Structure 1
Amino acid sequence: MLFTKESQPAADPQKNVLARLSSRNQFIAVSKGHRAFCKGLIVQALPQHPINGKKIRVGFTCSKKVGNAVTRNRAKRRLREVARTILPISGFSGWDYVLIGRVQTTVGVSFAELKADLRQALLTIHASTKI
């Protein structure tokens, strides 16, 4: 894989704690970036402005189409755990990611499939951003 100096996979996953996207403006900014669609989730990604630093920032969302509040919360818990295990290893420092739950599949697919989907989505996103 080719990596630019500014965007490389996280060198030490233990040191790379994920920061959270919290404001609506941050989610909207990431939605205008790159996208990858998988069976269990949708991933949106955008390189951060250099002033924001080199952390990996991540946000999670599930619409009411996913289900009632219990189902949405379960889907978001699964997305948080997948992000916690995969993004420090496969995510790029200095990027923002938003993981979006999909209707009936985020809760329905196995956890291993969800992890594989996130890995594949990250490969797709970062393969399309190489110069």
Structure 2
Amino acid sequence: MKKEQRIKTNEEFSKVFKNGQSVANRQFVLYKLPKEGQGPFRLGLSVSKKVGNAVTRNRVKRYIREVFRLKAELLHSDADYVVIARNPAASMSSQEVEQSLLHVFRKARVLKKAKQT
């Protein structure tokens, strides 16, 4: 992901946590903060040490970033997203991570409506 698409500072995370809406399932919590006039969406990741060692946490973050990269055209672009990974995410495959995140996306209603022809 490009630098412009990352949420890095504590203030940015706090703003999304404080003003955003959250939706969760067993593996992930998704915070969404709509931002008018913003270019592409921005993504912040939080994977606690409770999830596993550094190798495991980095693998989970790679899987999450890959899902956002693949589904970028389906997501509303005028928002900031923060994903918090919970402990069960450590033992998931990339396909399971994708299915779980899509479930959270549907619950949060962040997917664009499919165009009907």
Same fold (TM over 0.5): yes
User: What residue is the counterpart of 1:66 in the other structure?
Assistant: 51
* Partner secondary structure for residue 77 of structure 2: coil
1: CA distance between counterparts of 2:25 and 2:70? 18
With normalisation by structure 1, the TM-score equals 0.71
Q: Which runs of 5 or more residues in structure 2 are unaligned?
A: 111-117
Specify the code of the residue in structure 2 equivalent to 1:94. D
Between the two proteins, the alignment pairs up a number of residues equal to: 107
Query: Is 2:5–2:43's contact at 8 Å kept on the other side of the alignment?
Result: yes
Q: Which runs of 5 or more residues in structure 1 are unaligned?
A: 1-16
2: CA distance between counterparts of 1:125 and 1:34? 8
User: What residue is the counterpart of 1:23 in the other structure?
Assistant: 9
Deviation string for 1:31-76 (max 9, x for gaps)? 121111123322111112x36x232111111111112222212221
Q: How does 1:1-131 map onto structure 2 within 5 Å?
A: 19-32=5-18, 33-48=20-35, 50=36, 53-86=38-71, 88-103=72-87, 105-126=88-109
**Fraction of identical pairs, as percent:** 34
Q: CA RMSD in A?
A: 2.0
Query: Is 2:52–2:90's contact at 8 Å kept on the other side of the alignment?
Result: no
2: CA distance between counterparts of 1:55 and 1:122? 17
Query: Is 2:51–2:86's contact at 8 Å kept on the other side of the alignment?
Result: yes
* Partner secondary structure for residue 92 of structure 1: coil
2: CA distance between counterparts of 1:72 and 1:110? 13
* Partner secondary structure for residue 44 of structure 2: strand
* Partner secondary structure for residue 8 of structure 2: coil
Q: List, as ranges, runs of 4+ consecutive aligned residues in structure 1 with deviation greater than 6 Å.
A: none
